[in-house]
């Protein structure tokens, strides 16, 4: 991807997800081309035009209007999670691949429909997580598969921050991020998906036997419609996963602990990894992974260099993630353990 001819030419579906700023910076740095941007909110469009000096010609009032004029290499979704299905419905019949921000969908019904469209029209549908590109997480996976700590017995993921409003997310973003229908829930979805994604990956694409969850409403005056703290327990035949998702952490936390029979690994963040055995603790030097961001990965999928399989961005993995999240919401609401049927 060193020349302009090799750059991905992407369409953008929506601007209300604040992660789109990352794409805009990649665009300004010459790492990607933008074929068009679909966004109905004229005030939001004006703000992005002004902030990133974007020409009027890039903007369309809807995704269908954009796709009638341009045929991008892929469409990236930066819209509410509940509307990811609409992106796939528009792109799939035209043979256009899709990558959405996490999670894939708000319901199993939506995710199943997305999978059916992907299969019918032979397109990849990928999900982008920040933690996919953490070199530490990639190395934890490699070490576990090389039997560095023995068979996995327990996995713990902590994900979250002080809260989207508290950290200054835009109103356009928080309007739907705190909506139970558009986002599917609060912290239980926003941050619960990370742990479900990582654990499904480490468990070789297998769904848990059962899911139990507790959701809290610690700040009802700030988040009146959705939970802001959740703990999710995943049961596997020989291992347990614990996901701690919160909009109430003292600061941003995205870590991953994997306990095996002979030791454990702790990815503290994107770059720091510790390994502990009975009588020793060491900080490991983490190698740079093959793919360090969503665009280089997406390009590799599109040119056939890699097949998603059951990896972190894959449709297979993220169908299970949505199933876990739906079961977690149901468990928290009903106060009951939810047995997971096979996908």
Give the CATH number for residue 57.
3.40.50.720
Residues in Cβ contact with 326 at an 8 Å cutoff, skipping those fewer than 6 apart = 107, 108
Distance of alpha carbon 214 from alpha carbon 340, whole angstroms: 17
The domain boundary, picked from 130, 161, 179, lies at 130
Distance of alpha carbon 37 from alpha carbon 16, whole angstroms: 12
pLDDT number for residue 182: 98
Do 69 and 125 belong together in one domain? yes
Look up residue 48 and give its two tokens.
């992005």
φ, ψ of residue 192 to 5 degrees: the values are -65, -30
The domain boundary, picked from 109, 130, 151, lies at 130
**Predicted structure pTM score:** 0.96
For strands 74-77 and 98-101, give the pairing.
parallel
Tokens 């291992």 sit on residue: 239
User: Does residue 300 belong to any structural domain of this protein?
Assistant: no
User: Does residue 154 belong to any structural domain of this protein?
Assistant: yes
Instruction: Give the bridge partners for 257, in sequence order.
Output: 156, 266
Do 139 and 286 belong together in one domain? yes
The domain boundary, picked from 85, 108, 130, lies at 130
Distance of alpha carbon 95 from alpha carbon 121, whole angstroms: 6
Per-position pLDDT tens, the chain of length 343:
434 447 999 999 999 999 999 999 999 999 999 999 999 999 999 999 999 999 999 999 999 999 999 999 999 999 999 999 999 999 999 999 999 999 999 999 999 999 999 999 999 999 999 999 999 999 999 999 999 999 999 999 999 999 999 999 999 999 999 999 999 999 999 999 999 999 999 999 999 999 999 999 999 999 999 999 999 999 999 999 999 999 999 999 999 999 999 999 999 999 999 999 988 899 999 999 999 999 999 999 999 999 999 999 999 999 999 999 999 999 999 999 999 974 3
For strands 229-235 and 240-246, give the pairing.
antiparallel
Do 281 and 137 belong together in one domain? yes
Do 143 and 112 belong together in one domain? no
Do 70 and 175 belong together in one domain? no
Residue 232 has a CB neighbour count (10 Å cut-off) of: 28
pLDDT number for residue 279: 86
Please report, to the nearest 10 degrees, the dihedral formed by the alpha carbons of residues 244, 111, 326, 190 taken in order. Answer: 30
pLDDT number for residue 4: 40
User: Does residue 28 belong to any structural domain of this protein?
Assistant: yes
Instruction: Give the closest residue to 211 by CA, choosing from 329, 102, 343, 103.
Output: 329
| Domain residue limits at 42 | 4-130
Look up residue 215 and give its two tokens.
């959701």
Distance of alpha carbon 187 from alpha carbon 197, whole angstroms: 15
Do 52 and 107 belong together in one domain? yes
Count of domains observed in the chain = 2
């Amino acid at each position: 991807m060193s020349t302009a001819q090799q750059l991905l030419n992407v369409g953008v579906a929506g601007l209300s997800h604040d992660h789109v700023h990352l794409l805009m910076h990649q665009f300004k740095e010459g790492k990607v081309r933008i074929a068009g941007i679909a966004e109905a909110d004229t005030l939001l469009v004006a703000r992005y035009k002004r902030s990133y000096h974007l020409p009027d010609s890039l903007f369309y009032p809807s995704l269908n209007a954009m796709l009638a004029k341009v045929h991008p290499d892929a469409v990236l979704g930066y819209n509410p999670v509940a509307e990811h299905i609409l992106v796939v419905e528009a792109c799939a019949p035209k043979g256009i691949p899709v990558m959405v921000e996490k999670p894939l969908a708000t319901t199993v019904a939506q995710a199943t429909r997305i999978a059916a469209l992907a299969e019918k029209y032979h397109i990849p549908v990928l999900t982008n997580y920040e933690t996919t590109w953490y070199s530490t997480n990639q190395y934890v996976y490699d070490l576990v598969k090389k039997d560095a700590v023995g068979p996995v017995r327990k996995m713990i993921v902590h994900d979250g921050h002080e809260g989207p409003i508290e950290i200054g997310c835009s109103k356009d973003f928080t309007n739907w991020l705190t909506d139970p229908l558009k986002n599917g829930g609060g912290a239980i979805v926003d941050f619960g998906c990370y742990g479900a994604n990582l654990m499904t990956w480490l468990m070789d694409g297998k769904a848990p036997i059962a899911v139990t969850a507790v959701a809290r409403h610690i700040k009802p005056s700030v988040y009146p419609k959705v939970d802001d703290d959740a703990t999710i327990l995943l049961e596997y035949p020989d291992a347990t996963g614990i996901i701690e998702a919160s909009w109430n952490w003292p600061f941003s936390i995205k870590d991953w602990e994997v306990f095996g029979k002979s030791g454990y690994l702790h990815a503290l963040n994107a770059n720091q990894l510790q390994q502990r055995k009975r009588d020793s603790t060491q900080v490991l030097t983490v190698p740079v992974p093959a793919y360090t961001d969503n665009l280089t990965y997406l390009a590799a999928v599109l040119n056939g260099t890699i097949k998603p399989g059951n990896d972190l961005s894959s449709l297979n993995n993220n169908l299970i993630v949505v199933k876990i999240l739906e079961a977690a919401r149901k468990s928290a609401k009903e106060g009951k353990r939810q047995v997971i049927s096979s996908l």
